[in-house]
Structure 1
C-alpha cells in the first residue's frame, strides 16, 4: 500500500512537470513559430526530462499548436522579405531541424520573385549603379551567393544592365 502512495505522488509530480513544460513551450510559441527540434532544444536547456519533453511536444503536434510545415512557411516568407535567397533559407531550415520535404514545399508555395529580391538586395548594399569593372561585379556576385541566391537569379540581376 505504501508503494501505491509513492507511485501516485510520482505520477502527480510527472504531470506537474509536463504541465510546466507545456506552459514554457506555449510561451515560446506565442512569440513566434518554432520547429519541433528548435523547441526541443530550448526546453532541454531547462533540465526537463527528455521523455517528458517528447510527450509534451507530441501533444502539441496533435493539438495543431506545433508544426514544422507552418514554421517553414513563416520562416521562408520572413527571410525572403529580408532579402535572403532560397538556398540559404533551405540551409537555415535544415539547421532548425525541418526536413527537406517540408522546406521544399514551403519554398515552392511562397509566391516571391527571387530574381527581383536579389536585385533589391544588391541595390540596397551597393547602390543603384551597376559595377563598371569585373572585380566589383565579382564582389557583388559573391555577396548575392552568400545571401543564398542561385546562379540563375544572380545572372538575372547582372544581365539586366
Structure 2
C-alpha cells in the first residue's frame, strides 16, 4: 500500500514539475508521463487531482497557446491544427483580427510595396499560406 502511495505522489510530482515550467494540455501531460514509465491508472488519478486543484486547465493552455502563436505571426489554420495535435478539440479563434495580422506579416517580410510580378505575388501568397492563413486573409493582405 505504501509503495502504491509513493508511486502516486511520484507521478503527481512529475506532472507538477512539468506544469511549473509551462502550461500543458491534458494530452501532453498524459503522453509525457507515459514516456516516464508511469501506469495509466496513476496518470489518470494524478491528472484528475491536478484538474480538481485547477493546476491543469485545457482552456487556460489553449488561451496561452493561441496568444503565443498569434504573436509569432501564425494563422488560424496552423494554430487550429497545432491545438488538435495537443488534444484541444475546438476553440474560438475569431477574437483575433487575422486579416490585419496577415497583412502585417506580409509587410514585415516583403515591405510595403505590393508586387506587380505574378511570380512574386505567388511566392508571397505561398508564404502566408505556410503560416496558416486562409485564402480570404491572404487576398486581403494584398489589397490596400
How high is the TM-score relative to the length of structure 2?
0.94
Looking at secondary structure, tell me which structure has more helix per residue: 1
One of 130, 134, 137 as aligned partner of 2:121: 137
Between 21-30 and 117-126, the greater mean CA deviation after superposition: 117-126
The alignment yields a C-alpha RMSD, in angstroms, of 1.2
Q: List structure 1 segments (4+ residues) > 3 angstroms apart after TM superposition.
A: none
Question: How do 1:32-111 and structure 2 match up within 5 A?
Answer: 32-100=22-90, 103=91, 105=92, 107-108=93-94, 110=95
What do the CA deviations read for 1:30-66 (whole angstroms, capped 9, x no partner)?
1111100011111111111111011100111111111
Give the paired residue count. 144
Question: What corresponds to 1:154 in structure 2?
Answer: 138
Distance 2:49 2:73 in 1: 35
Unaligned segments of structure 2, at least 5 residues: none
Unaligned segments of structure 1, at least 5 residues: 1-10
